[in-house]
Structure 1
């Protein structure tokens, strides 16, 4: 049964799913182009290609996970927690690449977007805690 108690969070996780779908649409389905845009060089190494594409494949999987959370934000809080940890880790890693001069400024779109979603996820967990909803 769908939980309709938190309509804002349904919208939040639909937006997060869309964000991940757009990113995965570029990164997974057009891997070489995305790598070129973000890092300013060609993706020629087959091992790097598979690792980079796999990272975007994870993003695609979280699209599905966020849709599940949007359907029932209380029941699927564990998926949101794992997704939030992944989103934060990914944003930090991408920021490190930028600060090290390995990535172009286009990567900041991903970094800033993911940090914004992380802030909303913290609010989501705070509201679940405040209303005494089980997170797991």
Structure 2
């Protein structure tokens, strides 16, 4: 058995991190993508009535749904799919910062801190993931 092909057996903790990350994204997507107007109302305390804004906001949550699949791929082979984690981590940082900016500007309700804190925790776990790979002398890209 090639260890790189079955790295989930070598790194079960990393696999667990990405299964949880996938579930986190699926939960977010269930709200944001499949119940777009409700999520917008809860985050920003205003109705989402413009069909264009609805589709744009839903599309942003579509990225979250896409990363549900991406993190499942990483969970299966954490050594091989570092690029997904890099891009996903950048997205989590960007989304958390934008939600924080919306909150500080008075546009978003405190409920956004659920997403902000959750995404920051995952960024910390992703950093841990890269440290484990580096410590074990795995190629990162």
TM-score (norm 1): 0.97
User: Where does 1:18-37 land on structure 2 (aligned, <5 Å)?
Assistant: 18-37=23-42
Partner of 1:76: 81
Partner of 2:63: 58
User: What RMSD in Å do the two structures reach over aligned CA positions?
Assistant: 0.8
3-state SS of 2:122 partner: helix
CA offset at residue 88 of structure 1? 1.0
User: What is the rounded CA distance, in whole Å, between the counterparts of 2:97 and 2:138 in structure 1?
Assistant: 29
- For 2:131 and 2:90, the matched residues in 1 are separated by 15
Unpaired stretches in structure 2, ≥5 consecutive residues: none
Q: What is the Cα deviation at residue 2 of structure 1?
A: 2.2
2:108 match: secondary structure: coil
SS in 2 for 1:133: coil
- Equivalent residue number for residue 2 of structure 1: 6
- Equivalent residue runs for 1:1-136 within 5 Å: 1-3=5-7, 4-136=9-141
Give the Å deviation of 1:5. Answer: 1.3
Flag structure 1 segments of 5+ consecutive residues without an equivalent: none
CA distance, structure 2, for counterparts of residue 126 and residue 105 of structure 1: 32
Question: Runs of 4 or more off by more than 3 Å in structure 1?
Answer: none
CA distance in 2, matches of 1:82, 1:6: 21
CA drift at 1:84: 0.9
Between the aligned partners of 2:41 and 2:125, the Cα distance in structure 1 is 30
